[in-house]
Chain A
Amino acid sequence: MNVRTDLSVTGRAWVFGDDVNTDDMYPGFAMKLPMAEASRFMFNATRPGWSDLVEPGDVVVAGRNFGLGSSRPVAELFTALGVTALIAEQYNSLFLRNCLNLGLPAVTVPDARAFVSEGDVVSIDVEHGVAMNDSTGVERAFTRFPGFLVDMLRSGGLIRQLEVAGHLRPPTGGPA
């Protein structure tokens, strides 16, 4: 999570449905595991085995109410698998804040699933609010984030900002 977030990303899309909840993305039993192992169980209820298919640089696309449920830090699992951005038609706000705070860009495109099909290559420019489906040539503008959130993403997430501001000592390490 302490890497600088690239605000302009291009990746292959995986498409999920409506109301995907955080128990599905980060099952309770996986909370017993270190992040890298827990990430193997993403979408365990609705798409088991997905983590073996996703590749670093990929993008996840979803429908309405993406991330309903608990506050478990799902964004860290996406990051562990190398997912570089999320596009959804609508987010649960707790989930959305979690993603942004952990440096994972998550943009809202109200007709995301009409705009992107699974396997399409999509480019997202977070700073300028533009998404392009490179496979179809279709473009979408999306609402840009307030400046303080763009700054946070650019600096690699909230924890990195807290370090820079002198609120945190250098990492003492230990298992995540």
Chain B
Amino acid sequence: MIEKILAGAAGVDDTTPGDILTCDVDMTVLIDVQFAMSRLMDVIAVHDPDKVAIVMDHAVPAPTVRDATHGTRARSFAREHGIERFYDIGRHGIVHQVIAEQGLATPGSVVACTDSHTCAAGAFNAAARGLGPAEILQIVCTGKTWHRVPPTIRYEFVGTKPDHINGKDIFLAIAAHYGDATDHAIEFGGPGLASVPMTDRRTIATQGAEVGADFTLFPADDICVDHMRSVAPHLVVTPFDADDDASYAAVRTIDLGDIDAMVARPGTVIDNAVPVTDLESTPIHQAFIGSCANGQLADLREAARIIAGHRVAPGVRLIVTPASQQVYLEAVERGYVTTLMEAGAVVTNSTCGACFGYAMGVLAPGEVCVTASTRNFRGRMGSTDASVYMASPATVAASAVAGRIVSPAFLMEGMPV
């Protein structure tokens, strides 16, 4: 899949892993923290303003003067270069959620953004990856970048995803069993894929960064095409599917019916996740549902469903961050926000916020957090003496009520709290 998309973007007929290709970039997305690089303000001409979007997400509304300055620069840049797709505060959201909502990543396209979770757009059959600030600057100026064509690991989904299993559980199970995918593309397919909705595909594709994958790709099947039509009705979709005789570095079969609710222990997800039942005595101080991986409407719906009628345990903080203004509004309209707040959750503005330990939800030394966000690195969410466990929104919501890590079944089966 990745070979076909990159070859198309480079204007070559054929390519093999290891080739370095110069590719046209269809969409480049700038984020607020990118404007820390003052040289963006020295750009003489943007190569194609229609292929650039700006999304305010990491530190919004600005918590420091430095961040406020990034906002000033972003607005000035958008004005000077005529960037019409500018999602300023009020229209903002976490960049990968905004990309999904606005149809900025389409099947077969090449997408670039400085955020390392840009691989999220692989859910839409796009060759999307994070690139560094200097390189994004280059693409803004020239419209092109280089990609090394990676070998591909294919995950063949069979069976049916159980309703209570989230994309996070599937991803953590894969990372626990197969380890890292450094310098590879990951591709998903197989008959089980039809039971995996876009929201779970987004979660899985987003988290590819945590196993070191360059790209994480899903095919543009009917479910994906329906999504694209819902956000971009006039889009002509050209799916880039894998050839039947495609060659892979590895092909691994995943029976979705066998996936348990999973938790990654602190530090990394690689070879480090276990079924939630293995950790059920772990007390927590904070629970977080949000981020580009699990701040989607379906994630908030699931959290609200689990927590309805219960209370967050004494001594535990539950923080919920909708991934975008649009998600936030829909969650309000559907009553999820009320349900979560009645249970004692703090529902925050849409931002990367607590996920990267910058402006809110920061952990004190000795604290334990269970998070549905993207990373469980030591020090990621605050103190280097805090512990961050990572799980699905359902597991995080149930754990917030129990005051310790528990399976969602703890509440779903009506057990005493």
The closest CB in chain B to the CB of A21 belongs to B377
Number of interface residues of B (CB under 8 A): 49
Complex-state Cα separation, A172 to B76, whole angstroms: 14
Complex-state Cα separation, A102 to B37, whole angstroms: 12
Please state if B42 and A32 are interface contacts (CB–CB under 8 Å): no
Question: Per-residue 0/1 for A35-75: is the Cβ within 8 Å of any B Cβ (1 yes, 0 no)?
Answer: 00000000011101000000000000000110011110100
The closest CB in chain A to the CB of B63 belongs to A32
8 Å CB interface, B332-380 against A: 356-358, 375, 377-380
Q: Give the number of A-B contacts (CB < 8 Å).
A: 138
Please state if A175 and B66 are interface contacts (CB–CB under 8 Å): yes
Please state if A46 and B378 are interface contacts (CB–CB under 8 Å): yes
Of the residues A23, A101, A159, A169, contact of B380 by C-beta under 8 Å: A23
Question: Per-residue 0/1 for A15-45: is the Cβ within 8 Å of any B Cβ (1 yes, 0 no)?
Answer: 0000101011001110110000000000011
Complex-state Cα separation, A64 to B180, whole angstroms: 11
Of the residues B38, B66, B133, contact of A171 by C-beta under 8 Å: B38
Of the residues A93, A157, A174, A176, contact of B41 by C-beta under 8 Å: A174
Q: Which of A45, A73, A90, A94 has the most CB of B within 10 A?
A: A94
Chain A residues touching B, majority SS: loop
8 Å CB interface, B191-233 against A: 209-210, 212, 214
Given known A23-B379, A32-B358, A65-B182, contact A97–B132 (CB-CB < 8 A): yes
Complex-state Cα separation, A42 to B210, whole angstroms: 21
Please state if B141 and A167 are interface contacts (CB–CB under 8 Å): yes
A32 neighbours in B (Cβ, 8 Å): 64, 66-67, 358
Question: Per-residue 0/1 for B146-173: is the Cβ within 8 Å of any A Cβ (1 yes, 0 no)?
Answer: 1010000000000000000000000000
Complex-state Cα separation, A135 to B179, whole angstroms: 35
Given known A101-B135, A167-B44, contact A94–B270 (CB-CB < 8 A): no
Please state if A172 and B379 are interface contacts (CB–CB under 8 Å): no
Q: Is B39 an interface residue (CB 8 A)?
A: yes
Q: Is A137 an interface residue (CB 8 A)?
A: no
Given known A31-B358, A102-B134, A167-B44, contact A24–B38 (CB-CB < 8 A): no
The closest CB in chain A to the CB of B184 belongs to A93
B37 neighbours in A (Cβ, 8 Å): 73, 176
Please state if A94 and B377 are interface contacts (CB–CB under 8 Å): no
A157 neighbours in B (Cβ, 8 Å): 134
Given known A23-B379, A94-B130, contact A171–B115 (CB-CB < 8 A): no
Q: Is A141 an interface residue (CB 8 A)?
A: no
Given known A21-B377, A24-B377, A93-B183, contact A98–B132 (CB-CB < 8 A): yes
- Given A71-B116, A172-B42, 14 further pairs, Cβ under 8 A: A21-B377, A68-B268, A69-B116, A70-B356, A92-B182, A101-B135, A101-B138, A158-B134, A158-B138, A168-B42, A168-B141, A170-B42, A172-B41, A174-B41
Interface residues of A (CB under 8 A from B): 19, 21, 23-24, 27-29, 31-32, 44-46, 48, 64-65, 68-71, 73, 90, 92-94, 97-98, 101-102, 146, 148, 157-159, 162, 166-176
